[in-house]
Amino acid sequence: MSTPANFPGEPDSSPEIAREFGLAKHEWDRVLSTLSRAPSYAELGVISVMWSEHCSYKSSRIHLGRLPTTGPQVVQGPGENAGAVDIGDGFCAVFKMESHNHPSYIEPYQGAATGVGGILRDVFTMGARPVASLNSLRFGRPDHPKTPHLVKGVVAGIGGYGNCIGVPTVGGEVQFDESYDGNILVNAFTVGIAKTDELFFGVAEGVGNPIIYVGAKTGRDGIHGATMASAEFGEETDSKLPTVQVGDPFMEKLLLEACLEIFATDCLSGVQDMGAAGLTSSSVEMADRAGNGIELDLDAIPRRTKALSPYEMLLSESQERMLMVAKEGREQEVFDLCAKWDLDASIVGRVTDTGRFVCKATPGYDPFDGTGEPDPVVVVDLPVDLLTNAAPKYDRPQEARAEHATLMTMTGDAPDDLGAELVRLIGSPNIGSRSWIWRQYDHIVRDGTVIRPGEGDAAVIRVFCEDASGTREKFLAISSDCNGRHVELDPFGGAAMAVAECTRNVVCVGAKPLGLTDCLNFGNPEVPEQMWRFAQAIDGLAAACAALGAPVVSGNVSLYNETDGKAILPTPTVAVVGQLEDAEHRLGLGFVGEGDVIAHLGRPSRGVLGGSEWLVQRTGSVTGAPVGIDLEAEAALQHAMLELARTKLVKSAHDISDGGFAVCLAESCIATGHGARVTLPSSEDAPAHALLFSEEPSRIVVSLPAGNVGEVGNICKRYGVPFEKIGRVTGQTLAIDGVCEVPIEELADSHAAALDSIVS
């Protein structure tokens, strides 16, 4: 069989070009032996993006199968554009999280903005109207010279996109650590609402059905973005600028409204957005899911620049584009609704039964400037299977990290003045207020934000579910989390802690967890120790998801997060969606009633400081014994907490996490301006500073009317959860008996100024 034509100016494919495109030598050999011929230049481009880590999950696929993905509430598990869970009455919550790390480091504003745009499209492609977004961000150390520029750019980019399209950004998290100095993380999450029986899928069904291209025209931006996202950074990073896409949120808003109206007419059989690897991956994945083939007429691709080659059109990652498969004869309905929203739409191909991905184009013909006449020849002719199921899959070698025994007992020297230490800690960039960030996000658009950023452990949003019988209000809780320091010290336990913290946040606002999405950010999988971290973390996530009732319904893997051979902290970010039975079950994190009793739920601290913010600040490195997690105790705690919220016996709830017990109490005071007087929960013998700042999981601080103490104690007892009354909401100070007493105002001022050193 002969090789399809190259376009004028394109070289013949070669092992050297294959290497430049990111293919390993043995992968190139496999291409040759499978095809029994050399690929064309465009074909080599197509194969290399589809076989990139980003698209093929070649290093992670064999591990991802260990994650639990089922449950009675799961409507759609992994494998589609986004996952979905049932929220009752025929409606579902559709959600996913995705990384945009590499582009955001190169160009923070556009990188972050297009990350938001991409995840929004993943959700509305399923037929869901997006209702809220979160983001999880990691930057280098606060005093790194690049950090201020990156923080300002990323936050402005997320805001610029989300604010314009009108989806509230209601929460998220951010951490600064030197491991991210050369490789920041931008993980974006969106949830939407759809009718369960009207979900749309990315399938190219119906041989002969027309393929319609809708949205922005194709340019040269983002070519080989997926390949770039599958490699380490070196010193030449700035030269990768052309691989970053540019976002247009107004175009996306038009696309969103037009898509939802088109879906409602039922004239489509499938749809997929053009994300990573653009036209190539959207058409190949749709053909693959339906077991069909696709033939594209590249001469018909709408374009915004001269002389685009097939290679460029197939690999462009220009934003705000969708590929729709219309039911035959119903194309006009798509065109009419696109015209209503002033969007371009063109038929660019057909569904075939060949199982092949075929593209035709005319050398020398350019519809952009009218040069030449169309007389297309085949430029790509590849089996779909080669690009999907038959893509490489590796079980890469693993090697456990050597234990550094000398660090295991590290607790740091006890500070002299624990009050001053708390004021300092709560004003540090990893602990203090994030209001500088979330004030730049429209977090209230759509009239649904019931618990705003900073008011509770998770965001609570009201969603409107409208069908023929009327409109119902439902209430969802969403939270994202991960602390890579705990994952570094113990990949299994740290990953399990990320899930536990996220589901704990959701129950602390009164919601039952329904499902989880993950964004697994790790280093180079070809390094056995990194691969070991990844595999361990998967097992930790799997154990925690199973124990805490949060199946994984969607996700994303981002590997090669390294610069010059230095990897980031392993960061398996997760986000959980939960649902409140009743809006009146919701709980904030702030103390609300003078004289209320403050109680500690869960096993008290043993004073283990490993991986804690305090110890990192004290020692300058991520050290100490891992804190560990008992998933059975965690599950019991969360069940008890949910019952306390539903019985309305407690008035606030806040889990103990970053910064430890003292920071948790201080935050509950600062949120509402109330003071507190407490004693340290009874514990084994440990220094006071270790009990104050340990980040051991599975602990919640609640406040309740004094009259409810007995009933709350009984509920905890029934679940086997330690319950201890530790003090009262009172006064204008946070007083911890025998340890410190600090004015709330002093704590609040320090907390509010936490990011000033970076952003002002």
Partner 1 sequence: MRVAVVQFPGSNADWDALHAVRDVLGADAWYAFHKETSLGDADAVVIPGGFSYGDYLRAGAIAGFSPIDNAIREFASRGGPVLGICNGFQILTEMGLLPGALTRNAHLRFECRDIHLRVENEGPFTNMGKGTVLRLPIAHADGRYHTTSEGLAELERNGQIAFRYSTHKGDAPNGSDANPNGSVGDIAGVYSRDKNVLGMMPHPERASEVILGNDDGLSLFTSLRRHLGFE
What residue has token string 């100070």?
733
Query: From the list 50, 74, 126, 165, which residue makes contact with partner 1 (rule: CB under 8 A)?
Result: 165
Query: From the list 285, 442, 518, 655, which residue makes contact with partner 1 (rule: CB under 8 A)?
Result: 442
Distance of CA 395 to the CA centre of its chain: 25
Least CB distance to partner 1 at residue 462 (A): 7
The answer for residues whose C-beta is within 8 angstroms of residue 22's C-beta and 6 or more apart is 48, 52, 227, 230, 231
Distance from C-alpha of 115 to C-alpha of 107, rounded to nearest angstrom: 12
Residue 193 contacts partner 1 per CB under 8 A: no
Nearest to 701 by CA among 669, 659, 737, 654: 654
Tokens found for residue 197: 């029986």
Query: From the list 39, 127, 159, 432, which residue makes contact with partner 1 (rule: CB under 8 A)?
Result: 159
Given the residues 63, 100, 600, 689, the one annotated as active site: 100
Least CB distance to partner 1 at residue 393 (A): 43
Residue 253 contacts partner 1 per CB under 8 A: yes
Q: Which CB, 64 or 589, lies closer to partner 1? A: 589
Distance from C-alpha of 246 to C-alpha of 674, rounded to nearest angstrom: 46
Residue 718 contacts partner 1 per CB under 8 A: no
Is the separation of the CB atoms in 571 and 183 below 8 Å?
no
Tokens found for residue 161: 């996109």
SS3 for 222-251 is: CCCHHHHCCCCECHHHHHHHHHCCCCCHHH
Distance from C-alpha of 450 to C-alpha of 619, rounded to nearest angstrom: 40
Residue 156 contacts partner 1 per CB under 8 A: yes
**516 strand-pairing partners:** 552, 576
Q: Which CB, 455 or 634, lies closer to partner 1? A: 455
Residue 752 contacts partner 1 per CB under 8 A: no
Residue 260 contacts partner 1 per CB under 8 A: no
Least CB distance to partner 1 at residue 435 (A): 8
Which residue stretch of 139-147, 322-330, 444-452, 651-659 sits at the interface with partner 1 (rule: CB under 8 A)? Answer: 444-452
Q: Which CB, 141 or 446, lies closer to partner 1? A: 446
Q: Which CB, 251 or 458, lies closer to partner 1? A: 251
Q: Which CB, 121 or 600, lies closer to partner 1? A: 121
Residue 13's Cβ-count burial label (10 Å; 0-12, 13-18, 19+) is buried
Least CB distance to partner 1 at residue 168 (A): 9
Least CB distance to partner 1 at residue 445 (A): 6
* Alpha-helix residue ranges (DSSP H) falling in 291-357: 310-315, 331-340
What secondary structure letter does DSSP report for 168? Answer: -
Residue 594's Cβ-count burial label (10 Å; 0-12, 13-18, 19+) is exposed
Residue 207 contacts partner 1 per CB under 8 A: no
Q: For residue 435, how many other CB atoms are within 10 A of its CB? A: 14
Q: Determine whether 585 is an active site residue.
A: no
Residue 755 contacts partner 1 per CB under 8 A: no
Q: Which CB, 351 or 587, lies closer to partner 1? A: 587
Query: From the list 11, 166, 234, 397, which residue makes contact with partner 1 (rule: CB under 8 A)?
Result: 166
Distance from C-alpha of 384 to C-alpha of 126, rounded to nearest angstrom: 23
Q: For residue 752, how many other CB atoms are within 10 A of its CB? A: 16
Distance from C-alpha of 643 to C-alpha of 636, rounded to nearest angstrom: 11
Residue 653 contacts partner 1 per CB under 8 A: no
Which residues, 328 to 357, sit near partner 1 by CB under 8 A? 340-342
Query: From the list 52, 114, 133, 163, which residue makes contact with partner 1 (rule: CB under 8 A)?
Result: 163
Least CB distance to partner 1 at residue 590 (A): 13
**Which amino acid is located at 8 in the chain?**
P
Least CB distance to partner 1 at residue 651 (A): 16
Query: From the list 68, 77, 108, 160, which residue makes contact with partner 1 (rule: CB under 8 A)?
Result: 160
Which residue stretch of 433-441, 539-547, 690-698, 718-726 sits at the interface with partner 1 (rule: CB under 8 A)? Answer: 433-441
What residue has token string 């931006």?
221
Residue 583 contacts partner 1 per CB under 8 A: yes
For partner 1 (CB under 8 A), the number of binding residues is 35
Residue 292 contacts partner 1 per CB under 8 A: no
Which residue stretch of 99-107, 436-444, 558-566, 603-611 sits at the interface with partner 1 (rule: CB under 8 A)? Answer: 436-444
Q: Which CB, 155 or 284, lies closer to partner 1? A: 155
Which residues, 456 to 475, sit near partner 1 by CB under 8 A? 462, 464, 471
Q: Determine whether 54 is an active site residue.
A: yes
- Rounded to whole angstroms, what are the CA distances from 76 to 119, 283, 388? 17, 21, 20
Residue 137 contacts partner 1 per CB under 8 A: no
Residue 758 contacts partner 1 per CB under 8 A: no
Tokens found for residue 433: 């207020």
Q: Which CB, 33 or 469, lies closer to partner 1? A: 469
Is the separation of the CB atoms in 293 and 25 below 8 Å?
no
Query: From the list 248, 562, 667, 696, which residue makes contact with partner 1 (rule: CB under 8 A)?
Result: 248
Element housing 357 (H / E): strand 356-361
Residue 443 contacts partner 1 per CB under 8 A: yes
Which residue stretch of 66-74, 186-194, 276-284, 437-445 sits at the interface with partner 1 (rule: CB under 8 A)? Answer: 437-445
Residue 261 contacts partner 1 per CB under 8 A: no
Q: Which CB, 445 or 686, lies closer to partner 1? A: 445
Distance from C-alpha of 209 to C-alpha of 539, rounded to nearest angstrom: 43
Q: What is the DSSP string of 73-111?
A: TEEE-BTBSSEEEEEETTEEEEEEEEE-HHHHHHSHHHH
**598 strand-pairing partners:** 703, 727
Residue numbers of the site for partner 1 (CB under 8 A)? 156, 159-160, 163-166, 248-251, 253-254, 257, 340-342, 435, 438-447, 449-450, 452, 462, 464, 471, 583
Q: Catalytic site residues?
A: 54, 100
